[in-house]
A and B are shown apart, each in its own frame.
Chain A
Amino acid sequence: MDILKNKVSLLSIVLLGLMASSCNDPNKTGWEFAPNMYNSRAYEAQTQWRSNSINPHGMNMRLPVEGTVARVTHPTEFVQDDGSVVSDLMIYDTSADSLEWAANNLVNPIPWSEEVEDEGKVLYQRNCMHCHGSKGAGDGKVAEIYKGVPNYASDALSSISGGHIFHVITHGKGRMWPHAAQVTPEERWKIVHYVQRLQLGI
Chain B
Amino acid sequence: MLPKKSKFSFDGTFSMARFALTKKASIYNRDMYKSHIRILLLLLLSLSAAPLTFGQGSADGDPALGEKLFKNNCAQCHAYDDAVVVGPGLKGIEERRDYQWLKEWIQNPAAVIASGDDYAVELYEKYNKTQMTAFQSFGDAEISGILAYVKQANEAAPVAADGGAGTAAAATADSGSSSVFNIVLIALLVIMGLVLVALLAVLNLLSQITKADGGEIDTRGFGERISGGLKNVFQNATVRNAIVVLFLLFGAKATFDGLYSIGVHQGYAPTQPIPFSHKLHAGDMEINCAYCHTGVYKGKQAGIPSASICMNCHNTIKQGSPNIQKIYTALETDQPIEWVRVHNLPDLAYFNHSQHTAVAGLDCENCHGEIPQMEVVEQRHSLTMGWCIDCHRQTDVNAKGNAYYDALLEAHNSASSENMKVEDIGGLECARCHY
Closest A residue to B336 using CB positions: A57
Question: 1/0 per residue A1-25: CB within 8 Å of B?
Answer: 0100100110010011001000110
Per the bound structure, the CA–CA distance linking A5 and B246 in Å amounts to: 13
State whether A26 touches B263 (Cβ < 8 A).
no
Interface residues of A in 119-159 (CB under 8 A from B): 125-127, 129-130, 138, 140-143, 145-151, 153-157
Per the bound structure, the CA–CA distance linking A42 and B152 in Å amounts to: 69
State whether B131 touches A142 (Cβ < 8 A).
no
State whether A31 touches B69 (Cβ < 8 A).
no
Per the bound structure, the CA–CA distance linking A119 and B294 in Å amounts to: 16
Given A12-B247, A140-B286, A151-B73, the answer on whether A38 and B312 have CB atoms closer than 8 Å is no
Per the bound structure, the CA–CA distance linking A65 and B130 in Å amounts to: 34
Closest B residue to A155 using CB positions: B137
State whether B86 touches A175 (Cβ < 8 A).
yes
Interface presence of A48 (CB below 8 A): yes
Per the bound structure, the CA–CA distance linking A32 and B376 in Å amounts to: 23
CB-CB under 8 A from B12, the residues of chain A are none
State whether A177 touches B265 (Cβ < 8 A).
no
Given A19-B254, A127-B288, A127-B290, the answer on whether A40 and B267 have CB atoms closer than 8 Å is no
CB-CB under 8 A from B308, the residues of chain A are 181
Q: Interface size of B by Cβ–Cβ distance < 8 Å? A: 66
CB-CB under 8 A from A29, the residues of chain B are 265, 268, 344
CB-CB under 8 A from B69, the residues of chain A are 155
Given A29-B265, A59-B336, A138-B76, the answer on whether A148 and B85 have CB atoms closer than 8 Å is yes
CB-CB under 8 A from B264, the residues of chain A are 30
Interface presence of B219 (CB below 8 A): no
State whether A40 touches B317 (Cβ < 8 A).
no
Per the bound structure, the CA–CA distance linking A27 and B271 in Å amounts to: 6
Question: 1/0 per residue B385-429: CB within 8 Å of A?
Answer: 000000000000000000000000000000000000000000000
Given A72-B298, A138-B76, A153-B72, the answer on whether A177 and B131 have CB atoms closer than 8 Å is no
| Residue from B269, B287, B348 in contact with A130 in the complex, judged by beta carbons closer than 8 Å | B287
CB-CB under 8 A from A174, the residues of chain B are 130-131, 133
Per the bound structure, the CA–CA distance linking A151 and B334 in Å amounts to: 36
Interface presence of A45 (CB below 8 A): yes
Question: 1/0 per residue B269-301: CB within 8 Å of A?
Answer: 111000000000000111110110010011001
Main secondary structure of the interface of B (DSSP, over half): loop
Question: 1/0 per residue B351-367: CB within 8 Å of A?
Answer: 00000000000000000
Interface presence of B238 (CB below 8 A): no
Interface residues of B in 133-151 (CB under 8 A from A): 133-138
Interface residues of B in 219-262 (CB under 8 A from A): 234, 240, 243, 247, 250-251, 254, 258, 261-262
| Residue from A42, A149, A182 in contact with B309 in the complex, judged by beta carbons closer than 8 Å | A182
Given A29-B265, A47-B341, the answer on whether A141 and B286 have CB atoms closer than 8 Å is yes
State whether B338 touches A48 (Cβ < 8 A).
yes
Interface centre among B73, B271, B301, B347 (most CB of A within 10 A): B347
CB-CB under 8 A from B315, the residues of chain A are 177
Interface presence of A34 (CB below 8 A): yes
Closest A residue to B316 using CB positions: A146
State whether A16 touches B285 (Cβ < 8 A).
no
Per the bound structure, the CA–CA distance linking A165 and B298 in Å amounts to: 23
Interface presence of B313 (CB below 8 A): yes
| Residue from B243, B263, B311 in contact with A32 in the complex, judged by beta carbons closer than 8 Å | B263
Interface centre among B294, B301, B306, B312 (most CB of A within 10 A): B312
Per the bound structure, the CA–CA distance linking A32 and B265 in Å amounts to: 9
Closest B residue to A31 using CB positions: B262
Given A23-B267, A38-B346, A57-B335, the answer on whether A154 and B288 have CB atoms closer than 8 Å is no
State whether A26 touches B133 (Cβ < 8 A).
no
State whether A155 touches B73 (Cβ < 8 A).
yes
A95 to chain B, nearest CB (A): 18
State whether A26 touches B268 (Cβ < 8 A).
yes
Given A16-B254, A34-B346, A177-B312, the answer on whether A141 and B285 have CB atoms closer than 8 Å is yes
B234 to chain A, nearest CB (A): 7
A165 to chain B, nearest CB (A): 14
Interface residues of A in 35-57 (CB under 8 A from B): 36-38, 40, 42, 44-48, 57
Interface presence of A33 (CB below 8 A): yes
A100 to chain B, nearest CB (A): 11
CB-CB under 8 A from A31, the residues of chain B are 258, 261-263
Per the bound structure, the CA–CA distance linking A32 and B262 in Å amounts to: 5
Per the bound structure, the CA–CA distance linking A122 and B243 in Å amounts to: 61
Interface residues of B in 316-351 (CB under 8 A from A): 316-317, 334-336, 338, 341, 344, 346-348
Q: What 6 A-B pairs are tightest by C-beta distance, nearest first? A: A37-B346, A148-B86, A26-B269, A126-B288, A126-B290, A130-B287
* Interface residues, chain B, with chain A CB atoms under 8 Å away: 69, 72-73, 76-77, 85-86, 130-131, 133-138, 234, 240, 243, 247, 250-251, 254, 258, 261-265, 267-271, 284-288, 290-291, 294, 297-298, 301, 303-304, 306, 308-309, 311-313, 315-317, 334-336, 338, 341, 344, 346-348, 376, 378
> Known contacts A34-B346, A47-B344; can you find 17 more A-B pairs with CB under 8 A?
A5-B240, A26-B376, A27-B269, A30-B263, A31-B258, A32-B263, A44-B347, A46-B304, A47-B341, A142-B286, A148-B77, A150-B76, A153-B72, A155-B137, A155-B138, A156-B135, A175-B316
| CB<8 Å pairs between A and B, sample of 12 | A5-B243, A16-B254, A19-B254, A29-B268, A34-B263, A46-B341, A126-B297, A146-B317, A148-B86, A149-B76, A155-B69, A156-B73
